Structure 1
Amino acid sequence: MILFFSPKKDSDPLTLSTLLSDRFKKPVFIERKNEISKEYVCDVWKTDILPRTELVYLRKELQNERKIDLIQIESFLEKEPLFCFDMDSTLIQEEVIDELARYAGVYEEVAHVTKEAMEGNLNFQEALQKRCSYLKDLPVAVFDELYFKLHPNHGVPQLFAGLKQKNAKTAIFSGGFTDILERFKQEYSIDEVRANYLDRADEKLLGTVSGTVVDKFIKRDSLLDLRSRFGIPKSNIVAVGDGANDQLMLEAAGIGIGFHAKEGLKSNISNWIDFASMDVLLYLFSEN
Protein backbone atom coordinates (compact mmCIF):
# COMPACT_ATOMS: atom_id res chain seq x y z
CA MET A 1 0.00 0.00 0.00
CA ILE A 2 1.03 3.62 -0.43
CA LEU A 3 0.68 6.39 2.13
CA PHE A 4 0.41 9.95 0.84
CA PHE A 5 1.22 12.81 3.21
CA SER A 6 -0.30 16.16 2.28
CA PRO A 7 -0.39 19.53 4.08
CA LYS A 8 -3.77 19.76 5.79
CA LYS A 9 -4.37 23.22 4.33
CA ASP A 10 -3.63 21.93 0.80
CA SER A 11 -5.15 18.46 0.84
CA ASP A 12 -7.13 17.37 -2.23
CA PRO A 13 -8.00 13.64 -2.10
CA LEU A 14 -10.24 13.87 -5.18
CA THR A 15 -7.43 15.21 -7.37
CA LEU A 16 -5.09 12.58 -5.94
CA SER A 17 -7.54 9.79 -6.73
CA THR A 18 -8.08 11.15 -10.24
CA LEU A 19 -4.36 11.38 -10.95
CA LEU A 20 -3.82 7.80 -9.82
CA SER A 21 -6.82 6.55 -11.80
CA ASP A 22 -5.53 8.23 -14.96
CA ARG A 23 -2.04 6.85 -14.47
CA PHE A 24 -3.08 3.24 -13.86
CA LYS A 25 -6.11 3.19 -16.16
CA LYS A 26 -8.47 1.94 -13.47
CA PRO A 27 -10.55 3.43 -10.66
CA VAL A 28 -8.37 4.20 -7.64
CA PHE A 29 -9.99 4.71 -4.26
CA ILE A 30 -8.08 6.19 -1.35
CA GLU A 31 -8.92 6.24 2.33
CA ARG A 32 -8.20 9.04 4.79
CA LYS A 33 -6.55 7.87 8.03
CA ASN A 34 -7.62 9.31 11.34
CA GLU A 35 -5.89 12.61 11.92
CA ILE A 36 -2.69 12.49 13.99
CA SER A 37 -0.36 15.22 12.79
CA LYS A 38 -1.46 18.81 13.34
CA GLU A 39 -0.25 19.87 9.90
CA TYR A 40 -0.34 16.80 7.64
CA VAL A 41 -3.03 14.33 6.66
CA CYS A 42 -2.51 10.79 5.39
CA ASP A 43 -4.36 9.15 2.50
CA VAL A 44 -3.92 5.42 1.87
CA TRP A 45 -4.07 3.55 -1.43
CA LYS A 46 -4.29 -0.19 -0.85
CA THR A 47 -2.46 -1.54 -3.87
CA ASP A 48 0.18 -4.10 -4.77
CA ILE A 49 3.87 -3.22 -4.36
CA LEU A 50 5.01 -0.87 -7.11
CA PRO A 51 8.55 -0.74 -8.56
CA ARG A 52 10.85 2.07 -7.51
CA THR A 53 10.66 3.68 -10.96
CA GLU A 54 6.89 4.05 -10.59
CA LEU A 55 7.24 5.58 -7.12
CA VAL A 56 9.76 8.10 -8.42
CA TYR A 57 7.40 9.00 -11.27
CA LEU A 58 4.46 9.44 -8.91
CA ARG A 59 6.47 11.71 -6.62
CA LYS A 60 7.46 13.90 -9.53
CA GLU A 61 3.90 14.16 -10.84
CA LEU A 62 2.40 14.88 -7.41
CA GLN A 63 5.04 17.41 -6.50
CA ASN A 64 4.32 19.33 -9.68
CA GLU A 65 1.01 20.20 -8.07
CA ARG A 66 1.72 20.48 -4.34
CA LYS A 67 4.10 19.36 -1.59
CA ILE A 68 3.04 15.73 -1.25
CA ASP A 69 5.22 12.93 0.10
CA LEU A 70 4.60 9.21 -0.29
CA ILE A 71 5.84 6.03 1.37
CA GLN A 72 5.21 2.46 0.22
CA ILE A 73 4.75 -0.23 2.88
CA GLU A 74 3.62 -3.85 2.88
CA SER A 75 1.62 -3.55 6.10
CA PHE A 76 0.95 -1.20 8.97
CA LEU A 77 2.95 -1.47 12.19
CA GLU A 78 1.52 -3.45 15.04
CA LYS A 79 2.03 -2.88 18.77
CA GLU A 80 5.47 -2.26 20.27
CA PRO A 81 7.64 -1.79 17.16
CA LEU A 82 11.26 -0.61 17.06
CA PHE A 83 12.20 2.79 15.62
CA CYS A 84 15.89 3.46 14.87
CA PHE A 85 17.15 6.91 13.93
CA ASP A 86 20.20 8.75 12.77
CA MET A 87 20.76 11.95 14.75
CA ASP A 88 22.43 14.87 12.93
CA SER A 89 20.31 16.37 10.13
CA THR A 90 17.66 13.72 10.86
CA LEU A 91 16.34 14.30 14.38
CA ILE A 92 18.08 17.66 14.67
CA GLN A 93 18.70 20.28 12.01
CA GLU A 94 22.39 20.70 12.74
CA GLU A 95 25.59 18.66 12.25
CA VAL A 96 27.10 18.73 15.75
CA ILE A 97 30.71 18.48 14.63
CA ASP A 98 30.23 21.57 12.49
CA GLU A 99 28.81 23.46 15.46
CA LEU A 100 31.73 22.37 17.65
CA ALA A 101 34.11 23.52 14.94
CA ARG A 102 32.48 26.96 14.99
CA TYR A 103 33.04 27.15 18.75
CA ALA A 104 36.68 26.20 18.24
CA GLY A 105 37.16 28.64 15.37
CA VAL A 106 38.14 25.85 12.96
CA TYR A 107 35.02 25.53 10.84
CA GLU A 108 36.81 25.92 7.49
CA GLU A 109 39.40 23.29 8.40
CA VAL A 110 36.75 20.77 9.44
CA ALA A 111 34.64 21.54 6.37
CA HIS A 112 37.68 20.81 4.18
CA VAL A 113 38.03 17.35 5.74
CA THR A 114 34.32 16.71 5.22
CA LYS A 115 34.74 17.61 1.55
CA GLU A 116 37.68 15.20 1.27
CA ALA A 117 35.52 12.42 2.68
CA MET A 118 32.61 13.17 0.34
CA GLU A 119 35.02 13.04 -2.61
CA GLY A 120 36.11 9.57 -1.52
CA ASN A 121 39.60 10.51 -0.39
CA LEU A 122 38.95 9.53 3.24
CA ASN A 123 36.75 6.86 4.76
CA PHE A 124 34.36 7.71 7.59
CA GLN A 125 36.68 6.70 10.40
CA GLU A 126 39.64 8.59 8.96
CA ALA A 127 37.53 11.68 8.41
CA LEU A 128 36.08 11.53 11.92
CA GLN A 129 39.49 11.25 13.58
CA LYS A 130 40.91 14.05 11.46
CA ARG A 131 38.00 16.39 12.14
CA CYS A 132 38.08 15.64 15.87
CA SER A 133 41.77 16.51 16.01
CA TYR A 134 40.79 20.12 15.35
CA LEU A 135 38.63 20.11 18.50
CA LYS A 136 41.62 19.60 20.80
CA ASP A 137 41.52 21.76 23.96
CA LEU A 138 37.84 22.67 23.51
CA PRO A 139 36.28 22.70 27.01
CA VAL A 140 33.90 19.83 27.73
CA ALA A 141 31.44 22.39 29.13
CA VAL A 142 30.77 23.50 25.55
CA PHE A 143 28.25 20.67 25.25
CA ASP A 144 26.06 22.20 27.97
CA GLU A 145 25.79 25.38 25.94
CA LEU A 146 25.58 23.75 22.52
CA TYR A 147 22.79 21.32 23.36
CA PHE A 148 20.30 24.10 24.02
CA LYS A 149 21.16 25.74 20.68
CA LEU A 150 20.28 22.64 18.67
CA HIS A 151 16.91 22.53 16.90
CA PRO A 152 14.84 19.34 16.64
CA ASN A 153 13.47 18.84 13.16
CA HIS A 154 9.82 19.71 12.70
CA GLY A 155 7.54 17.17 14.38
CA VAL A 156 10.25 15.34 16.34
CA PRO A 157 8.88 16.10 19.84
CA GLN A 158 5.39 15.09 18.74
CA LEU A 159 6.73 11.88 17.18
CA PHE A 160 8.51 10.73 20.34
CA ALA A 161 5.48 11.56 22.47
CA GLY A 162 3.34 9.45 20.15
CA LEU A 163 5.83 6.57 20.06
CA LYS A 164 5.84 6.49 23.85
CA GLN A 165 2.06 6.13 23.85
CA LYS A 166 2.40 3.24 21.39
CA ASN A 167 4.98 1.50 23.63
CA ALA A 168 7.50 1.58 20.78
CA LYS A 169 11.17 0.91 21.41
CA THR A 170 13.37 3.79 20.25
CA ALA A 171 17.06 3.97 19.41
CA ILE A 172 19.51 6.47 17.94
CA PHE A 173 22.69 5.37 16.20
CA SER A 174 24.86 8.37 15.48
CA GLY A 175 28.23 9.17 14.00
CA GLY A 176 28.11 12.13 16.37
CA PHE A 177 29.00 12.25 20.05
CA THR A 178 27.77 10.70 23.27
CA ASP A 179 27.77 14.07 25.07
CA ILE A 180 24.85 15.23 22.91
CA LEU A 181 23.12 11.86 22.54
CA GLU A 182 22.93 11.23 26.29
CA ARG A 183 21.21 14.58 26.82
CA PHE A 184 18.78 13.86 23.98
CA LYS A 185 18.13 10.38 25.37
CA GLN A 186 17.13 11.82 28.72
CA GLU A 187 14.93 14.56 27.26
CA TYR A 188 12.96 12.25 24.96
CA SER A 189 13.14 8.97 26.94
CA ILE A 190 15.04 7.10 24.22
CA ASP A 191 15.72 3.43 24.99
CA GLU A 192 19.15 3.07 23.35
CA VAL A 193 21.80 5.44 21.98
CA ARG A 194 25.11 4.61 20.33
CA ALA A 195 27.55 7.33 19.37
CA ASN A 196 31.24 8.22 19.48
CA TYR A 197 33.13 9.09 22.64
CA LEU A 198 35.41 12.11 22.57
CA ASP A 199 38.43 11.59 24.82
CA ARG A 200 39.04 14.21 27.52
CA ALA A 201 41.25 15.17 30.43
CA ASP A 202 41.12 18.07 32.87
CA GLU A 203 37.71 19.04 31.42
CA LYS A 204 39.15 19.56 27.93
CA LEU A 205 38.83 17.51 24.76
CA LEU A 206 41.95 15.69 23.63
CA GLY A 207 41.04 15.73 19.94
CA THR A 208 40.69 11.94 19.71
CA VAL A 209 37.91 9.37 19.69
CA SER A 210 38.15 6.08 21.56
CA GLY A 211 36.17 2.87 21.45
CA THR A 212 34.16 1.55 18.52
CA VAL A 213 33.48 4.22 15.92
CA VAL A 214 29.81 4.31 14.92
CA ASP A 215 29.91 4.02 11.14
CA LYS A 216 27.43 2.61 8.63
CA PHE A 217 28.22 -0.98 9.59
CA ILE A 218 27.80 -0.34 13.33
CA LYS A 219 24.47 1.38 12.66
CA ARG A 220 23.20 -1.68 10.79
CA ASP A 221 24.61 -4.13 13.33
CA SER A 222 23.12 -2.13 16.21
CA LEU A 223 19.67 -2.39 14.64
CA LEU A 224 20.10 -6.13 14.17
CA ASP A 225 21.28 -6.47 17.76
CA LEU A 226 18.19 -4.74 19.14
CA ARG A 227 15.95 -6.70 16.80
CA SER A 228 17.32 -9.92 18.30
CA ARG A 229 17.37 -8.67 21.89
CA PHE A 230 13.79 -7.39 21.86
CA GLY A 231 12.47 -10.18 19.63
CA ILE A 232 10.89 -7.77 17.16
CA PRO A 233 10.21 -9.03 13.61
CA LYS A 234 11.80 -7.10 10.74
CA SER A 235 8.36 -6.07 9.46
CA ASN A 236 7.80 -4.13 12.70
CA ILE A 237 11.05 -2.14 12.54
CA VAL A 238 11.41 1.37 11.11
CA ALA A 239 14.75 3.06 10.39
CA VAL A 240 15.13 6.75 9.52
CA GLY A 241 18.20 8.63 8.28
CA ASP A 242 19.37 11.31 5.87
CA GLY A 243 22.76 10.27 4.51
CA ALA A 244 24.53 7.51 2.60
CA ASN A 245 25.98 6.15 5.86
CA ASP A 246 22.40 5.32 6.93
CA GLN A 247 21.62 3.12 3.92
CA LEU A 248 22.60 -0.22 5.46
CA MET A 249 20.52 0.56 8.56
CA LEU A 250 17.51 1.43 6.39
CA GLU A 251 17.90 -1.78 4.38
CA ALA A 252 17.97 -3.85 7.59
CA ALA A 253 14.59 -2.47 8.66
CA GLY A 254 11.17 -3.52 7.46
CA ILE A 255 10.47 0.13 6.62
CA GLY A 256 13.51 2.26 5.77
CA ILE A 257 12.85 5.98 5.25
CA GLY A 258 15.06 8.85 4.18
CA PHE A 259 14.09 12.05 5.99
CA HIS A 260 15.00 15.23 4.10
CA ALA A 261 17.59 12.92 2.60
CA LYS A 262 20.68 13.74 0.56
CA GLU A 263 20.83 12.59 -3.05
CA GLY A 264 23.47 9.98 -2.26
CA LEU A 265 20.88 8.15 -0.15
CA LYS A 266 17.81 8.86 -2.27
CA SER A 267 19.37 7.25 -5.33
CA ASN A 268 19.54 3.91 -3.49
CA ILE A 269 16.23 3.76 -1.61
CA SER A 270 12.53 3.82 -2.45
CA ASN A 271 11.02 5.67 0.51
CA TRP A 272 11.82 9.20 1.59
CA ILE A 273 10.14 12.32 2.94
CA ASP A 274 10.96 15.69 1.41
CA PHE A 275 8.42 18.02 2.99
CA ALA A 276 6.33 16.52 5.79
CA SER A 277 7.07 16.82 9.50
CA MET A 278 8.57 13.86 11.37
CA ASP A 279 5.33 13.10 13.22
CA VAL A 280 3.73 11.72 10.02
CA LEU A 281 5.58 8.51 10.90
CA LEU A 282 2.81 7.92 13.43
CA TYR A 283 0.54 7.20 10.45
CA LEU A 284 2.55 3.99 9.92
CA PHE A 285 0.63 2.38 12.77
CA SER A 286 -2.44 0.25 12.30
CA GLU A 287 -5.61 1.90 13.63
CA ASN A 288 -6.93 -1.35 15.07
Structure 2
Amino acid sequence: MVKGLIVCDMDSTLIKEEGIDCLAHKVGKAEEVSALTRAAMEGRMDFGDSLKKRVNLLRGVDLQTVLDLSQQLTFTNGAIELLHLLRLQDFKIGIASGGFLQMMKPVLQMIKPDYILANSFEIKDHKLTGRLDRPIVSAQSKKEAALLWAQELRLSADQIVAIGDGANDIPLLQTAGIGIAFCAKEVVRNQVTYHIEEANLMKVWDLLQSLHRI
Protein backbone atom coordinates (compact mmCIF):
# COMPACT_ATOMS: atom_id res chain seq x y z
CA MET A 1 0.00 0.00 0.00
CA VAL A 2 1.37 3.39 -1.03
CA LYS A 3 1.83 5.67 1.99
CA GLY A 4 2.86 8.86 0.29
CA LEU A 5 4.31 10.68 -2.68
CA ILE A 6 7.50 12.71 -2.60
CA VAL A 7 7.85 15.28 -5.37
CA CYS A 8 11.27 16.86 -5.85
CA ASP A 9 12.68 19.64 -7.94
CA MET A 10 15.87 18.61 -9.71
CA ASP A 11 18.29 21.53 -10.11
CA SER A 12 19.75 22.86 -6.84
CA THR A 13 17.60 20.32 -4.99
CA LEU A 14 18.23 16.69 -5.96
CA ILE A 15 21.42 17.75 -7.72
CA LYS A 16 23.83 20.46 -6.60
CA GLU A 17 23.94 22.31 -9.90
CA GLU A 18 21.63 24.36 -12.10
CA GLY A 19 22.03 22.25 -15.23
CA ILE A 20 21.32 24.96 -17.77
CA ASP A 21 23.80 27.30 -16.07
CA CYS A 22 26.49 24.60 -16.26
CA LEU A 23 25.80 24.15 -19.96
CA ALA A 24 25.92 27.90 -20.53
CA HIS A 25 29.28 28.09 -18.75
CA LYS A 26 30.67 25.35 -20.98
CA VAL A 27 29.67 27.18 -24.17
CA GLY A 28 30.62 30.71 -23.08
CA LYS A 29 27.15 32.02 -22.25
CA ALA A 30 27.43 31.83 -18.45
CA GLU A 31 26.86 35.46 -17.51
CA GLU A 32 23.73 35.99 -19.59
CA VAL A 33 22.09 32.67 -18.73
CA SER A 34 22.91 32.74 -15.01
CA ALA A 35 21.42 36.23 -14.68
CA LEU A 36 18.17 35.01 -16.26
CA THR A 37 18.13 31.93 -14.01
CA ARG A 38 18.57 34.04 -10.87
CA ALA A 39 15.82 36.43 -11.93
CA ALA A 40 13.38 33.55 -12.39
CA MET A 41 14.31 31.66 -9.21
CA GLU A 42 14.03 34.83 -7.11
CA GLY A 43 10.62 35.67 -8.60
CA ARG A 44 11.80 38.82 -10.40
CA MET A 45 10.99 37.45 -13.85
CA ASP A 46 8.36 35.08 -15.19
CA PHE A 47 9.88 31.60 -15.32
CA GLY A 48 8.60 30.87 -18.83
CA ASP A 49 9.95 34.10 -20.28
CA SER A 50 13.29 33.53 -18.58
CA LEU A 51 13.52 29.96 -19.82
CA LYS A 52 12.73 30.84 -23.43
CA LYS A 53 15.48 33.45 -23.41
CA ARG A 54 17.98 31.07 -21.82
CA VAL A 55 17.23 28.30 -24.29
CA ASN A 56 17.49 30.70 -27.21
CA LEU A 57 20.98 31.71 -26.04
CA LEU A 58 22.00 28.04 -26.40
CA ARG A 59 20.94 27.76 -30.02
CA GLY A 60 23.46 25.75 -32.04
CA VAL A 61 24.98 23.84 -29.10
CA ASP A 62 25.78 20.25 -30.05
CA LEU A 63 23.61 17.62 -28.36
CA GLN A 64 26.71 15.61 -27.46
CA THR A 65 27.94 18.56 -25.39
CA VAL A 66 24.72 18.38 -23.39
CA LEU A 67 24.99 14.62 -22.93
CA ASP A 68 28.64 14.83 -21.89
CA LEU A 69 27.81 17.48 -19.31
CA SER A 70 24.95 15.40 -17.92
CA GLN A 71 27.53 12.85 -16.78
CA GLN A 72 29.21 15.48 -14.59
CA LEU A 73 26.20 16.60 -12.54
CA THR A 74 26.34 15.59 -8.87
CA PHE A 75 23.70 14.53 -6.37
CA THR A 76 23.06 16.72 -3.36
CA ASN A 77 24.31 15.17 -0.14
CA GLY A 78 21.75 12.70 1.19
CA ALA A 79 19.68 12.53 -2.01
CA ILE A 80 20.20 8.85 -2.80
CA GLU A 81 19.83 7.83 0.84
CA LEU A 82 16.61 9.81 1.29
CA LEU A 83 14.91 8.35 -1.77
CA HIS A 84 16.03 4.83 -0.87
CA LEU A 85 14.63 5.12 2.64
CA LEU A 86 11.34 6.61 1.41
CA ARG A 87 10.90 3.75 -1.06
CA LEU A 88 11.30 1.34 1.86
CA GLN A 89 8.49 3.29 3.56
CA ASP A 90 6.22 2.73 0.51
CA PHE A 91 6.55 6.22 -0.92
CA LYS A 92 6.40 6.82 -4.66
CA ILE A 93 8.86 9.31 -6.18
CA GLY A 94 8.06 12.13 -8.60
CA ILE A 95 10.36 14.65 -10.24
CA ALA A 96 8.81 17.99 -11.21
CA SER A 97 11.52 20.11 -12.74
CA GLY A 98 12.08 23.11 -14.94
CA GLY A 99 15.32 21.42 -15.98
CA PHE A 100 15.89 19.42 -19.15
CA LEU A 101 15.41 15.72 -19.77
CA GLN A 102 18.52 15.55 -21.95
CA MET A 103 20.60 16.66 -18.96
CA MET A 104 18.92 14.32 -16.47
CA LYS A 105 19.41 10.89 -18.02
CA PRO A 106 22.20 9.64 -15.71
CA VAL A 107 20.39 10.97 -12.65
CA LEU A 108 17.08 9.42 -13.68
CA GLN A 109 18.76 6.08 -14.38
CA MET A 110 20.13 6.14 -10.85
CA ILE A 111 16.97 7.10 -8.95
CA LYS A 112 14.33 5.57 -11.27
CA PRO A 113 11.44 7.89 -10.36
CA ASP A 114 7.87 6.72 -10.73
CA TYR A 115 6.84 10.01 -12.33
CA ILE A 116 8.72 12.70 -14.23
CA LEU A 117 7.78 16.17 -15.49
CA ALA A 118 10.55 18.20 -17.11
CA ASN A 119 11.38 20.41 -20.04
CA SER A 120 13.06 19.15 -23.20
CA PHE A 121 15.26 20.86 -25.76
CA GLU A 122 14.15 20.76 -29.38
CA ILE A 123 16.90 19.02 -31.35
CA LYS A 124 17.54 19.22 -35.09
CA ASP A 125 20.56 17.71 -36.83
CA HIS A 126 22.02 16.87 -33.40
CA LYS A 127 22.00 20.52 -32.32
CA LEU A 128 19.81 22.63 -30.02
CA THR A 129 17.45 24.79 -32.05
CA GLY A 130 17.01 27.39 -29.32
CA ARG A 131 13.45 26.22 -28.67
CA LEU A 132 11.68 23.63 -26.51
CA ASP A 133 9.90 20.62 -27.98
CA ARG A 134 6.97 20.69 -25.54
CA PRO A 135 5.06 23.19 -23.36
CA ILE A 136 7.17 24.83 -20.67
CA VAL A 137 7.02 23.28 -17.20
CA SER A 138 5.56 26.14 -15.16
CA ALA A 139 4.90 26.63 -11.47
CA GLN A 140 1.26 25.74 -12.12
CA SER A 141 2.07 22.61 -14.13
CA LYS A 142 4.36 21.34 -11.34
CA LYS A 143 1.50 21.68 -8.88
CA GLU A 144 -1.03 20.09 -11.25
CA ALA A 145 1.28 17.17 -12.02
CA ALA A 146 1.78 16.40 -8.34
CA LEU A 147 -1.96 16.43 -7.71
CA LEU A 148 -2.57 14.18 -10.74
CA TRP A 149 0.07 11.70 -9.61
CA ALA A 150 -1.42 11.66 -6.11
CA GLN A 151 -4.88 11.08 -7.56
CA GLU A 152 -3.57 8.12 -9.60
CA LEU A 153 -2.12 6.70 -6.39
CA ARG A 154 -5.36 7.39 -4.49
CA LEU A 155 -3.55 9.76 -2.17
CA SER A 156 -4.70 13.12 -0.86
CA ALA A 157 -2.72 16.33 -1.24
CA ASP A 158 -1.91 16.00 2.45
CA GLN A 159 0.06 12.84 1.64
CA ILE A 160 2.37 14.70 -0.74
CA VAL A 161 5.82 15.77 0.45
CA ALA A 162 7.34 18.36 -1.88
CA ILE A 163 10.87 19.77 -1.93
CA GLY A 164 12.09 22.75 -3.94
CA ASP A 165 14.20 25.87 -3.89
CA GLY A 166 12.86 28.36 -6.44
CA ALA A 167 9.92 30.68 -6.95
CA ASN A 168 8.47 28.29 -9.54
CA ASP A 169 8.16 25.67 -6.78
CA ILE A 170 5.95 27.80 -4.51
CA PRO A 171 2.49 26.59 -5.68
CA LEU A 172 3.65 22.98 -5.41
CA LEU A 173 5.12 23.51 -1.95
CA GLN A 174 1.99 25.27 -0.76
CA THR A 175 -0.30 22.52 -2.10
CA ALA A 176 1.60 19.61 -0.57
CA GLY A 177 0.78 18.41 2.90
CA ILE A 178 4.44 19.04 3.70
CA GLY A 179 6.16 21.57 1.47
CA ILE A 180 9.85 22.05 2.20
CA ALA A 181 11.94 25.02 1.06
CA PHE A 182 15.38 23.45 0.62
CA CYS A 183 18.32 25.88 0.74
CA ALA A 184 15.79 28.15 -0.92
CA LYS A 185 15.59 31.70 -2.16
CA GLU A 186 14.12 34.23 0.30
CA VAL A 187 10.93 34.60 -1.73
CA VAL A 188 10.30 30.86 -1.22
CA ARG A 189 11.18 30.77 2.48
CA ASN A 190 8.73 33.59 3.11
CA GLN A 191 5.81 31.57 1.73
CA VAL A 192 6.49 28.02 2.93
CA THR A 193 6.15 26.58 6.43
CA TYR A 194 9.08 24.17 6.48
CA HIS A 195 12.67 25.24 5.76
CA ILE A 196 15.92 23.30 5.55
CA GLU A 197 19.06 25.43 5.35
CA GLU A 198 21.70 22.69 5.42
CA ALA A 199 22.52 21.22 1.99
CA ASN A 200 21.81 17.65 3.07
CA LEU A 201 18.58 15.99 1.97
CA MET A 202 18.66 13.54 4.86
CA LYS A 203 17.44 16.52 6.90
CA VAL A 204 14.13 15.89 5.11
CA TRP A 205 14.07 12.43 6.68
CA ASP A 206 14.69 13.98 10.09
CA LEU A 207 11.84 16.45 9.54
CA LEU A 208 9.42 13.74 8.44
CA GLN A 209 10.29 11.69 11.49
CA SER A 210 9.70 14.68 13.76
CA LEU A 211 6.27 15.16 12.14
CA HIS A 212 5.48 11.44 12.55
CA ARG A 213 5.04 10.98 8.80
CA ILE A 214 7.37 7.98 8.62
Deviations 1:240-286 (A, max 9, x none): 00111111001111101111111110111121101262123234255
Partner amino acid, structure 2, of 1:144: L
1:101, distance to aligned residue in structure 2 (A)? 0.4
Aligned residue identity for 1:189: K
Q: For the residues of structure 2 that align with 1:115 and 1:219, how far apart are their CA atoms? A: 19
Q: Secondary structure of the equivalent of 1:90?
A: coil
Partner of 1:223: 146
Provide the rounded CA distance (Å) in 2 between the counterparts of 1:215 and 1:119. 13
The 1-side partners of 2:102 and 2:108 are apart by 10
Contact 1:244 1:265 in 2 (8 A): yes
In the alignment, which residue of structure 2 is the partner of 1:84? 7
Shift in Å, 1:180 = 2.4
**Match among 164, 167, 186 for residue 244 of structure 1:** 167
Aligned to 1:155: 78
CA separation of 1:281 and 1:131: change in aligned 2, threshold 3 A: same
Distance, in Å, in 2 between the alignment partners of 1:236 and 1:132 is 35
Misfit runs of 4+, over 6 Å: none
- Please give the secondary structure, in 1, of the residue aligned with 2:120: strand
**Structure-2 change in CA distance of 1:252 and 1:137 (3 Å):** same
Cα distance 1:110–1:287, how it changes in 2: closer, same or farther (>3 A)? closer
Is residue 2:50 matched to residue 1:127? yes
Identity of aligned residues (%): 33
Identify if the C-alpha distance between structure 1 residues 282 and 206 changes in structure 2 by more than 3 Å, giving closer, same or farther: same
For structure 2, the 5+ residue unaligned runs are: none
Q: 1:267 to 1:187 in 2, by over 3 A?
A: same
**Matching of residues 55-94 of structure 1 within 5 Å:** 80-94=3-17
Higher relative contact order (CA 8 A, sep 6+): 2
Q: Which letter maps to 1:86?
A: D
TM-score with structure 2 length normalisation? 0.90
Tell me, in whole angstroms, the C-alpha distance in 1 between the residues paired with 2:190 and 2:174.
Answer: 13
- The equivalent of 1:201 in structure 2 is 124
Whole-Å separation in 2 of the counterparts to 1:130 and 1:182: 24
Instruction: Kindly provide the amino acid, as one letter, of the partner of residue 18 in structure 2.
Output: E
Query: How does the TM-score come out when normalised to structure 1?
Result: 0.68
**1:183 pairs with 2:106:** yes
How much has 1:114 moved relative to structure 2?
3.6
2:204 maps to a residue whose letter is L
Structure 1: runs of 5 or more not aligned: 1-77
Whether the 8 Å contact between 2:147 and 2:157 is mirrored in structure 1 is no
Asked if structure 1 preserves the Cα contact closer than 8 Å seen for 2:2 and 2:92, the reply is no
Asked which structure has the greater CA Rg, the reply is 1
